[in-house]
Amino acid sequence: MPCGGQGRCGRCAVIVQDGAGIRRRSTLRLSADDLAAGYVLACQTVVEGDALVTIPVQEKIERRLVTDKTAAAVTLPFFYDPLQHQSVRLFPLAIEPPSVVDQTDDWSRLKRALASARLPLLSRWDASQDNWMQLKQAVDSSPEMSDLSADLPTLRRLGTTLREHNWSVTAVVEMDTWDRPTGSARLVDLLPPGQVGHLWGAAVDIGTTTVSLYLADLLTGEVVAKAAEYNGQIKRGEDVISRIIYASKNNGLAELQSLVAATINELLEQATRRANISPSEIYKMTVAGNSTMIHLLLGLPPGSIRLEPFVTAINHPAPVRAGELGIDIHPQASVDCLPGVASYVGADISAGVVGSQMCSSSALTLFLDVGTNGEMVLGDCDWLISCACSAGPAFEGAGVQDGMRATLGAIEEVWINSETCEPTYRVIPNPKLEAQGLPTPPRGICGSGLISLLSEMFITGVIDKAGNPNFDLGSPRIRQGEHGPEYVIVWGDQSEHGRDIVITKVDIDNLIRAKGAIYAGFTVLAQSVGIDLHMVERVLIGGSFGQYINIEKAIQIGLLPDLPWEKFHFLGNTALHGALLALLNREYRQQVGEAAQKMTYLELSADNTFYEAFTSALFLPHTNLAQFPSVAEVLADREAQT
Amino acid sequence: MPCGGQGRCGRCAVIVQDGAGIRRRSTLRLSADDLAAGYVLACQTVVEGDALVTIPVQEKIERRLVTDKTAAAVTLPFFYDPLQHQSVRLFPLAIEPPSVVDQTDDWSRLKRALASARLPLLSRWDASQDNWMQLKQAVDSSPEMSDLSADLPTLRRLGTTLREHNWSVTAVVEMDTWDRPTGSARLVDLLPPGQVGHLWGAAVDIGTTTVSLYLADLLTGEVVAKAAEYNGQIKRGEDVISRIIYASKNNGLAELQSLVAATINELLEQATRRANISPSEIYKMTVAGNSTMIHLLLGLPPGSIRLEPFVTAINHPAPVRAGELGIDIHPQASVDCLPGVASYVGADISAGVVGSQMCSSSALTLFLDVGTNGEMVLGDCDWLISCACSAGPAFEGAGVQDGMRATLGAIEEVWINSETCEPTYRVIPNPKLEAQGLPTPPRGICGSGLISLLSEMFITGVIDKAGNPNFDLGSPRIRQGEHGPEYVIVWGDQSEHGRDIVITKVDIDNLIRAKGAIYAGFTVLAQSVGIDLHMVERVLIGGSFGQYINIEKAIQIGLLPDLPWEKFHFLGNTALHGALLALLNREYRQQVGEAAQKMTYLELSADNTFYEAFTSALFLPHTNLAQFPSVAEVLADREAQT
């Protein structure tokens, strides 16, 4: 087994049906549920009497360990009722045509029809008695149409559309927006009378690396398609800082704006093709993203974000029209960029806080979104405090010699045998090779692989707590390389490219600095409100990075605080989920605004506190081992075994 | 004298200082003021004893008669107080720059500064104690800035402008618009800190033929420049109907839209050059015009205006941005198109009603705007009823063989000697020829000349009440022409082009139909509310056409109702004046909206009433002479003299 019988890889799990004669030495790798189900680790179990043991199929174990960490499916935390929750509605209208005795202008005629027949049509609505009452109530309390507005392009189509469809049309009306909570309502479009079955919306998260999109039916609240693509801006810089610099160049801002719009349009194209609709049928969009991404989408110069005192142009922009941004949904549709808190705590975090439901519980919660930057929020339903630490892109594979993104051929988990120093690893498989029964040769190591590797090297003593390789172990894998000391994970004859896959001392230092910055962030956040990190009741981890990491190993290197595993929850793209909730429900949209509003932002560069915490975190797992009792226990275990 | 001693031309006016021995036979030509000043008409006065008579310089008489009829200068009916009346304001701001301890975003920082220092700077404001109190009051009651908004282009300039000017700027804020009377306020622009002395606005009237513009200082209420030009759309059709047809052609609407925008831009160029400013410094525009002109400016298809049941797309459009229309003032400035009532009673009329102050008095008033169409309103401060009659462009010189616009070389007044049938006329002089002491040879006849000519021909018996020339008079000027009977006003050897200038029976019929349509309009309006036309206390005449016509002669042909002359007031371009009032004062802007709202529109094509009234009016002055007692008196006078 990979870990050489140290109770760390979990691969030797077996089920003990009658456990009277069994003594468990270590259960670190097992959750409470596992224990209740009778799981034990074979290597950590002493048989002292009779016992009935079942050895499960190996794949079942692997799948268990992996699927536990993937994102939850798209479920809404409320029962969707478009009349109550949705700001964009459909109204089927049969308008009395004009005559010489009633020469009311087209616009007033439409408003009159809207005001008198305010029952919005919902084709999928079950008009049972109860629903009907609810419907009536919603209609009675809906805003007045007397101050209905329309953009000039909508007005320009008005007369022709009304006459083309013989005064029978379906009006698409935006009832309110966050900045105009009591209206006025706005006519967005007029559709032919038949087109009443669907009303589409899109939620978008613009990541520095990846842009993701949900296409949702605003009548049912259902997500009908998802799509994700690399952000087209990548070719003008990998991180936010290089994008900000590029934006300051001649025409750079306009180019970056149209690049991200083109990426969103590509996603819209993919998602609508799958749903068999046209992007122009989408009437509402919400957008999450870090502050730089939101600035670039809106075409706002992001220069001040990069320079002290690190200020945004605007944290909470009002909705704009899709046409103003070159986004190919209906040109008069609102694009609502969600609010950010500060230059480095953007709309992705306030949306994430709502998407993760962090702020709807009184449990003390730590919310963490690790991408290129590490952004984190501490708090509960009453208060929130946030900070951002420039962790750098090491955990995304950048700045690491054999680092790579989590794609085919990436090593995503590593185990090291403490006796032989020989590694075992799992590679993200290439389906084509897999279909032929062939293994996928590794190309490099992705973020979760790096965490796993660093942890294994530390726990097995391949490196010490400062990250220095131990040449005394006499393994050929520990050697002096071109760039200093290094550890060989894969020999060239087994790698895809024929070169050795290694991790160098320089890589290790980069990774330690990255994890140190993040842990220092936690420390300073907790200190600033006088809380001990062990009081945290939940750790919610958002972002694609968080989806695949191994908690145990992340704790062992001191990236995550040492808390019981069941307190950690991987939520996937919380920013996108928050954008979806804001798209579907004006109450959640308001929550995002309130979260951004009440979130205190701690500027880490303001004094030395952060720097001191950072320095203390530049060891594995930490200068102060007392902060990591579970790691201390594992280390003690190892001592005892050798 | 021109009229041959019939007491009609007024040219023989003299002043009788001691009038004991004098008997006046007719005083028709003289006003009450004239009589009080001692004026008599020499030809109508019998000397029965001693009298001291002064003969005034002839030019003085002419000027008197002419200047009475010209437009009043631009005076406001209220004392302009920008704090109270103006929706666009300047706020000088000294904003605290951001720092690491206050990382508020630029937008919130600006809002905070606006909210705490809400004293708008008015460089010309005399800060005496009284004014100061008034100022404070205005500030205390000014809307909150918390829901300040800004267009995306304004936001895009925000950060750069603030830093460029070291956080000292002057904000241009639109506090409200008619459709958002309680705000929210909108940031339109940020200016350098010094630029606080002026704030510019423009009022425009788009006529089918002529576009006129006032440039006003919004801090003082002063009109600093005027400009007028032919509407560039003329090359695509002279009247509204031909423009509507052109708009329905491929790209026709867009072409007409840009043609009128180009005309307005040309006027802006002229006016701002005179004021030595840039058009982009103009931050507000109000626009009057008939419904077709407003539709074409906004790019709204006007097709339904022309076709039964004659409906507009919208009567009261919300303000749009100048940039949306291609108007070269500040692109984020509001362009506020004033409200119309119906397809043929447009914003020019509702603005005219306010510009003429018709609706601010309890006196029963008839308001008349004769251009290509005749639009008229009857009412007072409590009620208004309006109609439009397609009088046709005869009085603008179109459809009349020798008709022309009122420019150099146009005959603008005619007198005919009843004994000889010989005409005398006044020509709009060419200043170049005048400077050399030379007379201006006539080229044709303009509208006021046609009214004058028709009246003279009728009163002197050259034509009968049906408009047929009287060949029995034996004058060589009454002859059978190529197109039937005609009267020669100018022989070819005295005209500019060497051809005879004539009026034909066909021309006369056209003119009678035109005046008949207008008079029938009055009749039907009055009938519809059960009022006799003689009860009208004021007749307010707007439009450039109305500026130069002779009331007496207009009554004699039955174009205007037979009321005492002092009841008639020529107000010039009331639509432009109304647009100016709406530009300067939000209360007047509201009045225009209310006037449009409460004005009943009478569709003349709805039944036969109009047609019957029209048929009765196809005589000089009317079938029923009892409706024109003063004309009956003149005719009786003439009978008595011959």
What is this model's ipTM? 0.84
Nearest to A159 among B150, B313, B342 (CB): B313
CA-based nearest residue in chain B for residue A603: B100
Task: Report which of residues A273 and B44 the model is more confident about.
Answer: A273
Q: Is 50 exceeded by the pLDDT of residue A382?
A: yes
Asked if A100 lies within 8 A of B606 by C-beta distance, the reply is yes
A415 or B121: which carries more pLDDT confidence? A415
- CA of B593, closest CA in chain A: separation in Å? 14
Q: Provide the shortest C-alpha distance from residue B162 to chain A (in Å).
A: 10
Say how far apart CA A337 and CA A289 lie, in whole Å.
8
Q: What is the DSSP letter of A359?
A: G
Of A106, A156, A309, nearest to B103 by CB-CB distance is A309
Q: Is B631 helix (H, G, I), strand (E, B) or coil?
A: helix
Residue for token digits 């003149």? B634
- DSSP, collapsed to helix, strand or coil, labels residue A621 as coil
Is residue B80 within 8 Å of residue B60, measured between CB atoms?
no
The whole-angstrom separation of Cα B567 and Cα A446 is 93
A contact residues 336-355, partner B, Cβ 8 Å cutoff: 342-343
Tell me the CB-side half-sphere exposure of residue B402, using CA atoms within 13 A.
30
* pLDDT, tens only, A187-218: 999 999 877 678 999 999 999 888 999 999 99
**Low-confidence residues in chain B, pLDDT < 70:** 1-6, 8-11, 28-29, 57-73, 117-144, 196, 372, 544-547, 642
**Residue A8 confidence class, pLDDT cut points 50, 70, 90:** low
Q: What is the structure's pLDDT at A88?
A: 95
Q: Assign 3-state DSSP to chain A and report helix, strand, coil percentages, each to 5.
A: 40, 25, 40
Q: How far apart are alpha carbons B136 and A177 in whole angstroms?
A: 34
Residues 6+ apart with CB under 8 A from B460: B6, B416, B417, B418, B421, B638
**Interchain proximity A160–B324, CB inside 8 Å:** no
> Among B186, B189, B199, which residue's Cα sits nearest to residue B85?
B199
- pLDDT computed for residue B63 by the predictor: 39
E strand segments, A141-281 = 149-150, 168-174, 186-191, 200-206, 210-217, 223-230
Q: How far is CA A201 from CA A221, A285, A334, B337, B342, in A?
A: 9, 6, 10, 34, 38
Chain B residues inside the 8 Å CB shell of A150: 318
Highest average pLDDT, of A221-235, A419-433, B284-298, comes from B284-298
CA distance A419 to A408: 30
Residue A470, number of CB atoms within 10 A of its CB: 17
Q: Rounded to an integer, what distance in angstroms lies between the CA atom of residue A398 and that of residue B511?
A: 87
Residue type, A109: R
Range of weakest confidence among A53-67, A195-209, A554-568: A53-67
Contact (Cβ atoms closer than 8 angstroms) between residue A227 and residue A271:
yes
Q: What is the rounded CA–CA span in Å between residue A156 and residue A147?
A: 18
Residue contact B103–A159, C-beta within 8 A: no
Average pLDDT over residues A33-49: 84
Mutate to test the interface with A, among B144, B152, B184, B605 (most CBs of A within 10 A): B152
Two structure tokens written together for B46 = 């019998």
Which residue from B100, B156, B301 is facing A300, i.e. has the nearest CB? B156
CA distance B458 to B451: 11
pLDDT at residue A249, as a whole number: 92
Task: Tell me which chain B residue has its CA closest to the CA of residue A340.
Answer: B105
B-contacting residues in A 157-216 (Cβ below 8 Å): 158-160, 163, 179
Flag whether residue A323 sits within 8 Å of chain B, measured between CB atoms.
no
Among residues B417, B357, B390, B419, which one has the least CA distance to residue B578?
A: B357
pLDDT at site B137 = 47
Question: Which tokens belong to B554?
Answer: 């207009």
Mind telling me how many Å the CA of B141 is from chain A's nearest CA?
22
> Residue A141 above 50 pLDDT?
no
pLDDT of residue A9: 62
Please tell me the distance from the alpha carbon of residue B364 to that of residue A88, in angstroms, as a whole number.
Answer: 49
Handedness of CA B257, B260, B266, B271 (dihedral sign): negative
Is A108's CB within 8 Å of B300's CB? no
Neighbours of A396 (CB within 10 A): 26
Does B147 sit within 8 Å of A313, measured CB to CB? no
Rounded to a whole number, what is the distance in Å from the CA of A82 to chain B's nearest CA? 27
CB-closest option in B155, B158, B313 to A155:
B313
Q: From the candidates B99, B105, B149, B327, which should be mutated to test the interface with A, based on the most A CB atoms within 10 A?
A: B105
Q: Tell whether A299 is within 8 A of chain B (Cβ).
A: yes
Residue range A113-118: average pLDDT? 75
The pair of three-digit structure tokens given for residue A167, joined into one six-digit string: 């005064």
Q: Using CB atoms, which residue from A105, A150, A314 is nearest to B311?
A: A105
pLDDT > 90: percent of chain A: 65
